[in-house]
C-alpha cells in the first residue's frame, strides 16, 4: 500500500502528472547467464518471489493512478521483465531496441510487435541501443547513455527521429551500465521554481559527463554510493510521487526535503538480474 510522507514545508509544490507505462510480469525470470556485474547464475533465484515483489510495484502504480499496460512474457527471455529496455517512446513514436548481448536480442522484436499491435509508429533501429535504459527525457532534451550497452550512433538516430537535442553521457562504472541506473528524472516538466530536477551518482560518469551534469543541473540531488548500490536511482517519478528502492534511505530523505513523496518498494530478487523500479517501467508518451 502506498503512503504519503511528510515533506518539507519550504520545498516547492510538486504536482503528480498522468502517466501511462508498460510492464512485463516476470513469470520466467531467472538468472542463468551473466551479462552484468549484478548477475550470478551460480546463486539460485526465486521466480515466485520475483513475481510477488513485481506485483507490489504494479499495485503501487495502480494505486497512484498510473495507467499500466502489460506485454506478455515469453519463455526463455528472463530479462523481458525489464521493460524499460524494450524501446523509447515519445509522441506515439516507438523507437525499438537492438540489444548488445545475444541473450536479449529477441526482446527487441517482441517489444516492437507489441508497439505496432497497440497503435504506435514503430521505428526499427539501425544502431545498438537498449531503449529507455539509456535514453531519458528531461523537458525537451533527451539524455543518452553510452559505454556499455548503447552506441552513440543510436543517439544520432534518436535525435533525427524525435527532432530533439540529445546530450550524450559516457558511463564508466560497469555496475551502472544503463543511464537509468545512474540518473533519476524527478520532474516531467519544470517545477514551480522553473527548475528541471534530476538525481545522479557522480562516479558513474566520465569527467566530461560529470561537468555537463553539473552545468545543466546545478541543483540536482547527489546520491550516495550506498544508495546507488541498491539501484536507488533506478526509480520512477510522476512529478510528486517517486517510487524507489526501499533500502535507499538517504535518497528517500533527500526527496522528502525537496517536496517529493518517496515510496519504497522491495525488488531485491529482481536486483539479482541488475534491475530495479525503473528497469521494470517503460513510459508510453502518446
Write out the catalytic residue numbers.
Answer: 178, 279
Strands (DSSP E) contained in 43-165 are: 67-70, 87-90, 93-96, 121-123, 135-138, 141-146
Burial 67-79 (b: 16+ CB within 10 A, else e): ebeebebeeebbb
Q: Provide CB contacts within 8 A for 155, sequence distance 6+.
A: 144, 146, 166, 168
What value, to the nearest 5°, has the Cα angle with vertex 166 and ends 161 and 168? Answer: 130
Q: Provide CB contacts within 8 A for 129, sequence distance 6+.
A: 88, 95, 97, 98, 135, 149, 150, 151, 154, 157, 158
Rounded CA Rg of the chain: 17
Beta carbons of 178 and 134 less than 8 angstroms apart: yes
Amino acid at each position: 500500500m502506498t503512503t504519503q510522507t511528510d515533506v518539507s514545508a519550504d520545498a516547492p509544490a510538486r504536482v503528480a502528472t498522468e502517466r501511462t507505462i508498460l510492464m512485463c510480469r516476470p513469470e520466467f525470470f531467472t538468472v542463468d547467464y551473466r551479462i552484468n556485474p549484478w548477475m550470478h547464475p551460480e546463486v539460485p533465484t526465486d521466480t515466485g518471489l520475483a513475481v510477488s515483489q513485481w506485483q507490489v510495484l504494479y499495485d503501487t502504480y495502480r494505486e497512484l493512478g498510473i495507467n499500466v499496460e502489460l506485454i506478455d512474457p515469453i519463455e526463455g527471455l528472463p530479462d523481458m521483465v525489464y521493460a524499460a529496455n524494450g524501446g523509447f517512446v515519445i509522441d506515439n513514436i516507438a523507437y525499438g531496441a537492438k540489444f548488445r548481448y545475444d541473450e536479449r536480442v529477441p526482446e527487441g522484436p517482441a517489444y516492437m510487435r507489441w508497439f505496432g499491435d497497440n497503435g504506435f509508429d514503430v521505428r526499427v533501429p539501425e544502431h545498438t541501443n537498449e531503449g529507455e535504459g539509456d535514453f531519458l527525457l528531461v523537458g525537451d532534451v533527451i539524455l543518452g547513455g553510452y559505454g556499455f550497452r548503447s552506441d552513440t550512433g543510436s543517439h544520432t538516430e534518436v535525435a533525427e527521429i524525435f527532432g530533439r537535442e540529445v546530450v550524450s553521457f559516457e558511463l564508466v562504472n560497469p555496475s551502472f551500465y544503463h543511464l537509468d541506473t545512474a540518473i533519476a528524472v524527478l520532474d516531467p516538466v519544470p517545477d514551480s521554481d522553473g527548475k528541471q530536477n534530476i538525481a545522479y551518482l557522480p562516479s558513474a560518469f566520465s569527467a566530461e559527463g560529470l561537468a555537463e551534469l553539473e552545468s545543466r543541473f546545478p541543483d540536482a540531488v547527489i546520491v550516495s554510493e550506498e544508495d546507488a548500490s541498491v539501484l536507488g536511482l533506478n526509480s520512477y517519478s510522476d512529478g510528486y510521487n517517486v517510487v524507489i528502492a526501499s533500502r535507499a534511505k538517504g535518497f528517500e530523505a533527500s526527496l522528502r526535503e525537496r517536496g517529493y513523496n518517496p515510496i519504497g518498494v522491495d525488488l531485491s530478487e529482481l536486483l539479482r538480474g541488475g534491475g530495479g523500479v525503473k528497469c521494470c517501467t517503460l513510459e508510453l508518451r502518446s
